[in-house]
Every structure is written in C-alpha cells, then in structure tokens.
C-alpha cells in the first residue's frame, strides 16, 4: 500500500521535533502536525500584556504561545506553536538525580541512568546548552540565600539553551556547521518566556525542526488531529488514517492523510486527551493505564516583589541560577522582561490554610499589616522589574489521574500518594528568607491563595512505560501496547518524577526511542 507519509507526528515539541529529524535522517517521509501558529522572532509579543500573541485561547481569537489549563487539583502552564514548549519554557537543562531512573513504572525496564547518558549528551549538543555566563540581581540574591543556609556549594549557573554571542549582531549558524539559521547573541532582557524576539533562544524551530525541514520533513501548523484510525480496523499493522481540522479558523477545513506509523507528541494535555478520546472508539486496544501516573514535579510557584528601587530583577535569562536545597529539592529564580506585568492581575498575597475561608482571613490580615507595601506592588512599582518567581521542585512522588469528562475534556483525580499542594513547608521557609534578602513581599497565583490549588509548568505522565499493558501504555522503546508503528514520545511518556525541569530528559528519551527504529529500506546509514 502507498501512504501519504511514512510517519505522521502529532505535535512539534521536544519529542516531536526529535522524531521529525531522526526519522527524516533515516529516509522516511514525515509530516508534523502542530495545533499552534508558526512564529518568527519578530512575531512574538513585546510584553505579556499583548494577550492575543501571548496566550493560547482560540475561542476568543488569542493564538499565542502560552496555554493555561485549570483542573480541580492543578493549574497547568504549557506551550503551543511550532516548537511546542520550547517557545515558552525557561531554557533550563538540568539532568535529574539518580532517584529518577530508579523509581516509577519504568525503573526495572533498563539501567536508565547509564543507558541514557549518551543521549543526554546528544540532546545537550543539539539544544545548544551553555552555562549562563552572568548573574544579575535576582540570581545574586539566590546566591546569598545559598550562603545563608550553608549551601553555597549547591548553587550553580545552570546549562541553558541560549546563544551567548554578541547582542545585536547576527552571525552564521554556530551549532551545525552552518546548516542552521543565523543567530543573534542574548541581551539578557529576561523575555525568554514571552518568546525570544532576538533569535538568541535555542528553540526547536532553530535546531531539530529546522534540520528536519532541510531533509524534506513537512510541518503543517494551525491544525489539530481529532481521529487516528487503523486502516485495517485492528492493530494498525497496515497503517493509519489521520483526520485533522483547522485549530484557528471558524470553518475547520478538515483533512485526511494516511501513514504507516504515528507518533503522538502533543504533550500531556494534547496526547493524553486525544488518546482517551480515541480509546472509546478508534483505538480500543489502548491500555487501561492511560491517563494514570500524571506527575507535577511537586512544585510551587511563588512570586516575590522587591521594594528596593535600586534592584532590577527582570535582567538575565529566564532561569539563570538554581540552588539544590536538599537531596530531593531545588529552587530556581524565574523572571519576565521589564514591562511584562500581566501576571500581577492574577496574583494575591501569599496565604495558606486548611480551607478558603481561612486563607482569605490570613490574606486580609497581611494586607492590613502591610498596606503600603501591597499598594506599591500592585499600583506603583513595575511588577516584572521588581518581581521574581521562586520555582521550587521536589522529586518526592505523588500522582494524579486524568479521565474524559462529560464535555469531552479532561478531569483530574488523585492517584497514588498525597494530592499536589500549594503549601510545601520547605518552599515557604525559603521564600521567607529570600524575601528578607531582597526586601520583598511574596504573592502567589490567585487559585493557590484562595483555593489551595498549586500550579505547574511541568505536567508529566499519563502514557507511561511498563513491562506490559497492565503496567503502562508504552514499552521501553516508546511503542504503544496493542498497536504497530505507534509511539508516544513527549512528556506523557515520563514514568517517574524527575524533580527538575524535564525538557532535556524528554529530548534524551526521544533520542533513544528514535535510535531503536531502523533506517528506511532504501537508505543505508
């Protein structure tokens, strides 16, 4: 049978981009389908007040790069667009600690720490990892905190996916022997998460996707897959029909393609949602474990606004420093560029308590005890210039479960362990110390302060690895149980809690998965 494509890849994030390049190198005809828009550097919003270019909310014609999804137990921040999460993530590329490889449903499937080492190395090279060369006010304060708690040796300038050339000067591709696009050096504006307007951020459209296109891979943006049907109505051994529609137009302009294989790479919110829908009809052989073992990196996001006018904590790369606070936890400084103050509309004074009434009471007390300070934060000072976000993450495990709700979306429930919490005592203690150092006042996302619902930018799992379909959705090579030539390669595959920013790990595991696929029969590597 002749197919339109050898492989159709659904999503263009870290998993999908790796798959596009490596399959193209092996001689396969590839189509990448991406729900979001295709942005050039000049297209990104100058600040996050430009909601149409920053937020993804298509029902009101907002087609930006950042999506916010609210569930009963968690608020999830994710990326949308050609390049997926790389457009909006904070560039940071840490390698998880040993516990990541020895826990979760994948732990007994391989010696992951050793097996993934060469793929982590490849991923770091492809993503252009370099140590952040310069610390600014927010980072210097974190270094002071490290010294104060006796952890100075645990402070580091992390590896980040940024080109540190000369600001404002375009140079030929410095990474791939001239085969990539021109680049411009970082100016430390702090705007990484609203979309880098200077070409310094090593987003996936500048490496994996760019090189895949050079080899003939096609990228179809602004389209969303709504069905994947085995041609033989069985296990997909004779290929698949993939149905898609416009994600940005009122008239959906439906299309249909055939492919020998399919790679699901839409991230947890894309892949798990789609597979849950397909399990009820088109793909009934999918494991009953689908939607389970959703992890959130056990993290809190707390903002601290300095009242010291001499400080500008917006300067730097999005995450320019981190501190390993203990064997299971670490703290990062996150920033937005000056002028990107939209988040202040969604932040309230930091408050904790057993219920909403208690939290509102505590919040009121704080406002009355510090009226001048809160007035300055919300009405006088530049929010982004004076505010950093303290991102605290833990490798301690707990899980959620996603299932399809009545409206065709997803609903969350608690899986194993305790439910995610906006209140982590270690995070609160560190926030207090950091606030004292920068003469700051803490605030948090409105749902954290009122409802105790935590936020995460690192939702993982839902289609995890296992030895068989009773323990996972995919095997150790990312092949979907029950179907031929079908893969899940994105954050949904992550089968344990990394406790760190997961993009590098997703890239490395994707590299390993692609290494298992033989070259096209007409290609000799």
471: its two tokens: 């323990």
Residues with Cβ within 8 Å of 59's Cβ and at least 6 positions away in sequence, in order, are: none
325: its two tokens: 């606070």
- CB-based burial, 176-209: b 16+ in 10 Å, e otherwise: beeebeebbbbebbbbbbbbbbbbbbbbbbbbbb
Is there a catalytic annotation at residue 458?
yes
Residues with Cβ within 8 Å of 450's Cβ and at least 6 positions away in sequence, in order, are: 348, 351, 356, 359, 360
DSSP 491: G
Chain segment 123-151, per-residue pLDDT in tens: 999 999 999 999 999 999 999 999 999 99
In 3-state terms the chain splits into helix, strand, coil percentages (rounded to 5) of 30, 25, 45
More confident of the two residues 205 and 356: 205
- CB-based burial, 409-432: b 16+ in 10 Å, e otherwise: ebebeebeeebbbbbbeebbebbe
> What is the pLDDT of the chain when averaged over all its residues?
95
CB-based burial label for 326 (10 Å; 0-12, 13-18, 19+): exposed
In the set 324, 330, 347, 458, the catalytic residue is 458
The share of the chain scoring above pLDDT 70, in percent, equals 99
Rounded CA gap, 463 and 251, in Å? 32
pLDDT at 216: 97
pLDDT at 46: 96
> 494 near 138, Cβ under 8 Å?
no
pLDDT of 252 higher than 90? no
Chain segment 483-514, per-residue pLDDT in tens: 999 999 999 999 999 999 999 999 999 999 99
State the Cα torsion 6-10-12-13 to the nearest 10°: -120
The share of the chain scoring above pLDDT 90, in percent, equals 88
Is the sign of the CA dihedral 240, 209, 89, 192 positive or negative? negative
Q: Which of 11, 483, 84 has the alpha carbon at shortest distance from 261? A: 483
φ, ψ (nearest 5 deg) of residue 9: -110, 125
What confidence tier does 522 reach under pLDDT thresholds 50, 70, 90? confident
Residue whose structure tokens are 């090189």: 211
Q: Which of 213, 129, 209, 131 has the alpha carbon at shortest distance from 175? A: 129
Rounded CA gap, 6 and 260, in Å? 5
> 32 near 12, Cβ under 8 Å?
yes
pLDDT at 421: 82
pLDDT at 524: 56
- Give mean pLDDT, residues 227-237: 93
- Give mean pLDDT, residues 9-28: 98
> 46 near 72, Cβ under 8 Å?
no
Residue 386 CA to its chain's centroid (Å): 25
356: its two tokens: 């909403």
Rounded CA gap, 317 and 334, in Å? 8
> 321 near 132, Cβ under 8 Å?
yes
Residue 40 has a CB neighbour count (10 Å cut-off) of 10
| Secondary element (H or E) of residue 402 | strand 400-404
Chain segment 286-314, per-residue pLDDT in tens: 999 999 999 988 888 999 999 999 999 99
Chain segment 330-382, per-residue pLDDT in tens: 999 999 999 999 999 999 999 888 888 999 999 999 999 999 999 999 999 99
Strands 329-334, 319-326: pairing is antiparallel
The DSSP bridge partners found for residue 442 are 304
pLDDT at 355: 86
More confident of the two residues 91 and 423: 91
Rounded CA gap, 287 and 436, in Å? 50
Rounded CA gap, 19 and 28, in Å? 11
Domains, the chain, with CATH or none: 5-38+81-128+202-295+459-515 (3.50.50.60), 300-456 (no CATH)
pLDDT at 207: 98
pLDDT at 297: 84
The pTM assigned to this predicted structure is 0.96
pLDDT at 479: 98
pLDDT at 420: 82
User: C-alpha angle with apex 17: 290 to 509, nearest 5 degrees?
Assistant: 55
- Give mean pLDDT, residues 195-203: 97
Rounded CA gap, 45 and 318, in Å? 16
Rounded CA gap, 240 and 229, in Å? 5
Residue 282 has a CB neighbour count (10 Å cut-off) of 18
Residues with Cβ within 8 Å of 130's Cβ and at least 6 positions away in sequence, in order, are: 159, 160, 162, 163, 164
* Intra-chain end-to-end CA distance of the chain, in Å: 25
- Give mean pLDDT, residues 40-46: 94
pLDDT at 446: 92
pLDDT at 22: 98
Rounded CA gap, 326 and 394, in Å? 9
């Amino acid at each position: 049978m002749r197919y339109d494509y050898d492989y159709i890849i659904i999503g263009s994030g870290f998993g999908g981009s790796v798959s596009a390049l490596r399959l193209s190198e092996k001689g396969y005809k590839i189509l990448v389908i991406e729900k979001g828009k295709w942005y050039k550097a000049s297209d990104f919003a100058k600040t996050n007040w430009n909601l149409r270019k920053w937020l993804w909310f298509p029902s009101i014609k907002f087609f930006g790069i950042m999506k916010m999804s609210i569930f009963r137990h968690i608020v999830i921040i994710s990326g949308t667009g050609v390049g997926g999460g790389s457009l909006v993530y904070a560039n940071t590329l840490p390698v998880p600690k040993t516990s990541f490889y020895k826990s979760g449903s994948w732990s007994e499937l391989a010696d992951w720490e050793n097996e993934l080492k060469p793929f982590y190395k490849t991923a770091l090279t492809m993503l252009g990892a370099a140590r952040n060369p310069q610390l600014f006010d927010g980072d210097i304060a974190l270094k002071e905190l490290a010294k104060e708690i006796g952890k100075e040796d645990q402070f580091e300038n992390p590896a980040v996916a940024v080109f540190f050339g000369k600001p404002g000067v375009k140079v030929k591709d410095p990474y791939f022997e001239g085969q990539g696009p021109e680049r411009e050096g970082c100016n430390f504006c702090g705007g990484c998460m609203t979309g880098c307007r200077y070409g310094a951020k090593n987003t996936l459209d500048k490496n994996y996707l760019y090189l895949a296109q050079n080899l003939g891979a096609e990228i179809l943006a602004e389209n969303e897959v709504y069905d994947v049907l085995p041609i033989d109505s069985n296990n997909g051994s004779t290929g698949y029909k993939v149905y898609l529609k416009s994600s940005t137009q009122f008239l959906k302009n439906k299309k249909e393609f055939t492919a020998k294989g399919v790679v699901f790479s839409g991230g947890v919110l894309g892949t798990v949602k789609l597979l849950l829908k397909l399990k009820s009809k088109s793909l009934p052989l999918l494991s009953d474990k689908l939607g389970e073992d959703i992890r959130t990196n056990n993290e809190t996001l707390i903002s601290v606004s300095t009242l010291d006018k001499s400080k500008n904590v917006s300067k730097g790369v999005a995450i320019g420093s981190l501190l390993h606070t203990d064997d299971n936890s670490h703290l990062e400084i996150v920033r937005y560029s000056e002028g990107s103050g939209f988040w202040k509309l969604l932040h309230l004074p930091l408050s904790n308590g057993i219920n909403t009434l208690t939290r509102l009471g505590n919040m009121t007390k704080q406002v009355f005890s510090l009226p001048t300070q809160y007035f300055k934060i919300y009405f006088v000072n530049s929010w982004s210039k004076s505010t950093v976000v303290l991102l605290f993450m833990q490798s301690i495990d707990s899980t959620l479960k996603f299932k399809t709700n009545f409206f065709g979306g997803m609903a969350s429930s608690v899986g194993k362990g305790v439910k995610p919490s906006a209140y982590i005592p270690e995070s609160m203690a560190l926030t207090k110390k950091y606030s004292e150092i920068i003469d700051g006042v803490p605030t948090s996302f409105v749902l954290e302060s009122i409802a105790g619902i935590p936020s995460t930018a690192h939702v993982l799992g839902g289609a995890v690895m296992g030895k068989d379909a009773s323990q996972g959705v995919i095997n150790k090579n990312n092949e979907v149980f029950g179907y031929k030539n079908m893969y899940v390669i994105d954050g949904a595959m992550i089968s344990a809690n990394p406790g760190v920013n997961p993009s590098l790990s997703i890239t490395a595991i994707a590299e390993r998965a692609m290494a298992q696929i033989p070259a096209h029969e007409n290609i000799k590597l």
